[in-house]
């Protein structure tokens, strides 16, 4: 049965426990509003790993001033119903306050890859993406992470961050 985790501390404790036990952790980061593409990655993770964790977090750092963070769909009950059919072990569902208590003093800044294509139209968007993905990796400590391929620029930027930070 899928379990919801809302606390960073609890998620970190679980991750440390699984690693001590020699279990592999697969991770699928999402912003919720799950669809078949997400489910495909989750199924792959459950096949490849002992434990599968997904995150559902709508990250305010990747929304620009004219983009409506508040209007982004949030449907955690529907999302959890979908993942429960796939044997996902944990849904990490932190609040904005849990992820960013107080002012955010440290950001990851992306280089030239974020200055073209979508990044040119949405300044700061990819900085927000890699900041939260870096935080999520530090919290969940996955052995393998699964990302969709429909946004090639975002995937390339995340892959660069993984190399740069030795995740």
User: Which range of residues forms the domain containing residue 29?
Assistant: 3-104+130-148
Per-residue model confidence as pLDDT tens digits over 74-88: 999 999 999 988 999
Positions annotated as catalytic residues are: 38
In a domain, 116, yes or no: no
Determine contact, residues 163/137, Cβ cutoff 8 Å: no
CA distance 50 to 37: 21
Say yes or no to pLDDT of 49 above 90.
yes
In a domain, 156, yes or no: no
In a domain, 114, yes or no: no
* Closest C-alpha among 111, 106, 115, 110 to residue 127: 110
Model confidence band, residue 10 (pLDDT cutoffs 50, 70, 90): very high
CA distance 151 to 38: 13
Sign of CA dihedral 36, 37, 38, 43: positive
Q: Check which CATH number belongs to the domain holding 37 and give it.
A: 3.40.50.620
In a domain, 37, yes or no: yes
In a domain, 68, yes or no: yes
pTM: 0.95
In a domain, 99, yes or no: yes
In a domain, 93, yes or no: yes
Q: What is the tally of structural domains in the chain?
A: 1
Say yes or no to pLDDT of 121 above 90.
no
């Amino acid at each position: 049965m899928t379990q919801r985790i809302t606390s960073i501390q609890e998620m970190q404790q679980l991750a440390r426990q699984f690693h001590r036990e020699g279990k592999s952790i697969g991770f699928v980061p999402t912003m919720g509003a799950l669809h078949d593409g997400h489910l495909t990655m989750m199924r792959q993770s459950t096949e490849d790993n002992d434990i599968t964790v997904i995150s559902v977090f709508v990250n305010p750092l990747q929304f620009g001033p004219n983009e409506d963070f508040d209007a982004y769909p949030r449907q955690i009950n529907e999302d959890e119903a979908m993942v429960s059919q796939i044997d996902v072990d944990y849904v990490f569902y932190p609040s904005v306050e849990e992820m960013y208590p107080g002012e955010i003093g440290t950001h990851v800044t992306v280089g030239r890859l974020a200055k073209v294509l979508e990044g040119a139209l949405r300044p700061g968007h990819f900085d927000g993406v890699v900041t939260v993905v870096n935080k999520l990796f530090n919290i969940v400590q996955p052995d393998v992470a699964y990302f969709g391929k429909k946004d090639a620029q975002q995937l390339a930027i995340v892959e660069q961050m993984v190399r740069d930070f030795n995740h």
